[in-house]
Structure 1
Amino acid sequence: MAKFVIEPGAVIDGFTLGECVHRGGMATLWSVTRDDIADAMLMKIPRVSEGEDPAAIVSFEMEQMILPKLTGIHVPQCYGTGDFARQAYVVIERIPGKTLYARLDELPLPYEEARLIALKIADALSDLHRQNVIHHDIKPSSIMFRASGEAVLIDFGLSHHNQLPDLLQEEFRVPYGTAPYTAPERLLGVRDDPRSDLFSLGVLLYFFTTGVRPFGESETMAGMRRRLWRDPYPPRQLRKDYPPWLQEIVLRCLEIEPAWRYPTASQLAFELAHPDQVKLTARSERLKRDPLTTVWRRRFNGNLVQPRRPAAVAAQLAASPIVAVAIDVTEGSDELNGALRTAAERILKTSPLARLACLNVLKLGRVTIDRTLDEEGNNKHVGRLVTLRHWATPLKLDESRLTVHVLEAVDAAGAILEFVNANHVDHIVIGAGQNSLVRTLLGSTSAKVASEAPCSVTVVRLPRQGPSSSPRQEPPGDDRSMPAI
């Protein structure tokens, strides 16, 4: 079968080629149009001539398999693919603007700007990992932003899909990727751990806030392998004003052992969204790298990073959920709050890597001027934060797994739902209100949350009869049905 001539005006499977917008080492990018699609599009065509790297062809095959399966705002839409028998290509949405690579001349960025960029990337990774995909090439040139602000991940040729054959793993034994951003476990052949992407994001955040890459520019295998035993200089050694909370996040992402990093991209995003609640450890105070005795022990004992097969991506995410509990602090709510604590404890026992967010809504008047102090002159917001921590004390959670949040809003249910959506909450526990004429007419907060939340919901209600009866709960899970409230 005759091959297509790749030039402006050529038609491939209904797509008409326009200008060539980029010529890379492994592929070319062309603007394309099709009569039945109004969106701006790009066609990516691999280089397959004599002497081209065979890994480039395999990575293109991976991209052809993965892109059509991806959905959502954090990835480019895929409009079509072509096989190598006729003409290999993928057609994707053309996202206006430049990649994050264009910002390199501005480094280091202000800390707050870098935090917001990393937060958007972590949100995108969270969405990608939930689709069973690990990117494996997170770097500035693989990240774009929509006009609405969301990060978009591009270039999936090195990615791993948990439910598809990993052709790169099957056909090659050397780790492919961008050396400065490659996670240590990748050098040992591990490709199915989503925490590798968190390491790469940690490298990017370190680079964007210090102007220096944590592991230098080395492209040699020997240079890359040093990160199996050698940690980077703490950012505070490079910049005296570096915030301790930011160093805590960056160095946790850059831990050599994946188990010491954040369990999920969602939990990393949660930390970036709430820097004032980051639990500071010895990481945040470090001014020097690990001593040579520690480095030599890692290097010659060889027992810190071992190639092991982690659980499937979905299983890892399920083992590390973000659980939110909506707590009422008004008088007479002690019994219901006790039942909420019991329900939360049961959930946390089954997920030892879960983190808990305790919520309370400080309701604001629609037309009245709200007072910030209570009748005794104490700040209402601060008082409720203290009450939430007191509620959580019996759970005996490590501080790194607990945050408390007072949401000020007119609509309690709306505030809870907004928090759930913004923070990738996987499971919410909420108490059912007592029956009243107002709730009968207008509906309750718990009913609205249960019907509209994008995650699992457990609704806890007190028994109507007898103090010895056990609180009723809706079972955890995706079924959000509940009794009338």
Structure 2
Amino acid sequence: MVRSLVKSGAVVDGFTIGECLHSGGMATLWSVTRPDIDRPVLMKVPRVSEGEDPAAIVSFEMEQMILPKLSGPHVPTCFAAGDFATQAYVVIERIPGETLYQRLSELPLPYEEVRGLVAKIATALADLHRQHVIHHDIKPSSIMFRSSGEAVLIDYGLSCHKHLPDLLQEEFRLPYGTAPYMAPERMMGTRSDPRSDLFSLGVLLYFFTTGVRPFGETETLRGMRRRLWRDPYPPRQLKPDYPPWLQEIVLRCLEIEPVWRYPTASQLAFDLTHPDQVKLTARSEKVKRDPITTVWRRRFNRGLVQPESRSDVAVQLASSPIVAVAIDTSEGTEELSTALRVTVQRILATLPAARLACVNVLKLGRITIDRTLDEEGNNKHIDRMVALKHWATPLKLDASRLTVHVLEAIDPAAAIVEFAEVNQVDHIIIGARRDSVLRTLLGSVSAKVAAEANCTVTVVRPPRLAARGVDDEDDGPAKAASEA
């Protein structure tokens, strides 16, 4: 991708750029206009300059995929999206007013006011979940309210859609989110449970009624993992006048195990709307945290977080196998690229429900300082992502069946093998190139992948090399894998 085209006065895809309204850690917001849009709109542009986190690029791609599929009063309307090949952006409606973040200086708020606010947010969450999306970043700065009163959920960079690839889950091992609001199961890699959003909403409800976050401000992974076994102080210990029905709701949302939380956001909204009908349990009477014996039992009982249904995963794998093709966008020959594409087409023809993951590894130096921009100022991560999409264009796959992944690693083969293991890839397709002194000394990538991957591996050779009888770099275990 070239340098950013977005600046005041510029015109991008028919949108006239106005002033920069906000500059955040992962994106900037600009006021824009277009003749055919008769309401205020914003252009959100990702940060792609030197040193920016690659996760920001991936999360922006998630937002580009998810926003156009959403509708209704609880989400911002999406008008357009720009491709990374030219200028990445999304244009959404500009909702008047401020986020809940601006009210933090007023905390704690009156119980009745918070009850009404959170009931509206729960209603918005219920609508979002019905559209197959889990937000995964519910916090004050991602919530706004329309003049008509409906809550609006913004910022979908960390979200996942049931019917779309979850790029953050596939490419990164650490959980991404806002630490004080993150649900315990997120520490275990679970992103498919909508009850994670209810936990985050419980944190917000606790915070806005007590003025204290239930798990503090810790940002370390070690600190966040404590919530897998440690419950928060009951609100009544902080505020003796805390209503029992409200504590019942708060502590139910903050249950460590998702199965003990509200099953749906709709039921949570109902309880907040009808506090007199809340069924009180021992939660409502607590004034102390759970005893240390209970905490230790949780900590050393690995059955704490309920695993996802294995039968569902098995059915998904059987009906939708995952095929990964490793593509070298920097050194691969056109003959090899074509051979890879032909092989992929043949395999997908027999698996009409298969997912295809196009993978490239941006090799890092062991002792050098790697730059994210090339000599022309282009972001290397984005350039390769665009190249992968270009490679896959002739396959004419539906967007829901195709994903592209640029991995950053010192060892490309190890990165491909790890990607396959973490993402339950069923079949790896990888190309083999001519022999070279370097590959003879260090070992080829395709040979190592074929030897170490725990799934089927097909090694593809350019037809012209095979026709000339040229020995390939992979006449060992890789050749055996390609013939298996």
Using structure 1 for the length normalisation, give the TM-score.
0.63
Q: Which residue of 1 aligns with 2:353?
A: none
Task: Give the 5 Å matches for 1:49-60.
Answer: 49-60=49-60
Quote the Cα distance in structure 1 between the aligned partners of 2:237 and 2:159.
34
Task: Give the 5 Å matches for 1:362-401.
Answer: none
Q: Which residue of 2 aligns with 1:194?
A: 194
Quote the Cα distance in structure 2 between the aligned partners of 1:138 and 1:300.
29
1:26 pairs with 2:43: no
Task: Give the 5 Å matches for 1:52-91.
Answer: 52-91=52-91
Q: Which residue of 2 aligns with 1:151?
A: 151
Task: Please say if residues 8 and 19 of structure 2, whose CA atoms lie closer than 8 Å, have aligned partners that are also in contact.
Answer: yes
Task: Please say if residues 5 and 87 of structure 2, whose CA atoms lie closer than 8 Å, have aligned partners that are also in contact.
Answer: no
Quote the Cα distance in structure 2 between the aligned partners of 1:22 and 1:310.
44
Task: Please say if residues 192 and 309 of structure 1, whose CA atoms lie closer than 8 Å, have aligned partners that are also in contact.
Answer: no
1:140-176 deviation line (CA, Å, top 9, x unaligned) = 0000000011100000000010000000000001100
Aligned AA (2:61): E
Quote the Cα distance in structure 1 between the aligned partners of 2:310 and 2:69.
23
Q: Which residue of 1 aligns with 2:105?
A: 105
Aligned CA RMSD, in angstroms, stands at 1.3
Q: Which residue of 2 aligns with 1:183?
A: 183
> Alpha carbons of 1:66 and 1:239: their partners in 2 closer, same or farther (altered >3 Å)?
same
Task: Give the ranges of 4+ consecutive aligned residues of structure 1 lying more than 4 Å apart after TM superposition.
Answer: 1-4, 309-312
1:428-475 deviation line (CA, Å, top 9, x unaligned) = xxxxxxxxxxxxxxxxxxxxxxxxxxxxxxxxxxxxxxxxxxxxxxxx
Task: Give the 5 Å matches for 1:428-439.
Answer: none
Using structure 2 for the length normalisation, give the TM-score.
0.63
Quote the Cα distance in structure 2 between the aligned partners of 1:266 and 1:26.
32
Aligned partner of residue 105 in structure 2, secondary structure: helix
Aligned partner of residue 217 in structure 2, secondary structure: coil
Aligned length: 312
* Deviation, structure 1 residue 2: 5.7
Quote the Cα distance in structure 2 between the aligned partners of 1:289 and 1:193.
26
Q: Which residue of 1 aligns with 2:124?
A: 124
Task: Please say if residues 7 and 17 of structure 1, whose CA atoms lie closer than 8 Å, have aligned partners that are also in contact.
Answer: yes
Quote the Cα distance in structure 1 between the aligned partners of 2:2 and 2:224.
44
Aligned partner of residue 37 in structure 1, secondary structure: coil
* Deviation, structure 1 residue 308: 2.4
* Deviation, structure 1 residue 310: 8.5
> Alpha carbons of 1:197 and 1:311: their partners in 2 closer, same or farther (altered >3 Å)?
farther
Quote the Cα distance in structure 1 between the aligned partners of 2:301 and 2:183.
20
Task: Please say if residues 206 and 212 of structure 2, whose CA atoms lie closer than 8 Å, have aligned partners that are also in contact.
Answer: yes
Quote the Cα distance in structure 2 between the aligned partners of 1:246 and 1:194.
22
Task: Please say if residues 248 and 281 of structure 2, whose CA atoms lie closer than 8 Å, have aligned partners that are also in contact.
Answer: yes
Unaligned segments of structure 1, at least 5 residues:
313-485
Aligned partner of residue 206 in structure 1, secondary structure: helix
Of structures 1 and 2, the one with the larger relative CO (CA 8 A, separation 6+) is 2
* Deviation, structure 1 residue 199: 0.1
Task: Please say if residues 185 and 307 of structure 1, whose CA atoms lie closer than 8 Å, have aligned partners that are also in contact.
Answer: no
1:202-250 deviation line (CA, Å, top 9, x unaligned) = 0000000000000000000000000000000000000000000000000
Quote the Cα distance in structure 1 between the aligned partners of 2:305 and 2:82.
40
Aligned AA (1:5): L
Aligned AA (2:38): A
> Alpha carbons of 1:47 and 1:310: their partners in 2 closer, same or farther (altered >3 Å)?
farther
Aligned partner of residue 39 in structure 1, secondary structure: coil
Q: Which residue of 2 aligns with 1:274?
A: 274
Task: Give the 5 Å matches for 1:32-431.
Answer: 32-309=32-309
Quote the Cα distance in structure 1 between the aligned partners of 2:5 and 2:159.
29
Quote the Cα distance in structure 1 between the aligned partners of 2:115 and 2:190.
28
Quote the Cα distance in structure 2 between the aligned partners of 1:246 and 1:280.
10
Quote the Cα distance in structure 1 between the aligned partners of 2:311 and 2:272.
26
Unaligned segments of structure 2, at least 5 residues:
313-484
Quote the Cα distance in structure 1 between the aligned partners of 2:303 and 2:42.
46
Aligned partner of residue 116 in structure 1, secondary structure: helix
Quote the Cα distance in structure 2 between the aligned partners of 1:292 and 1:231.
11
* Deviation, structure 1 residue 6: 2.1
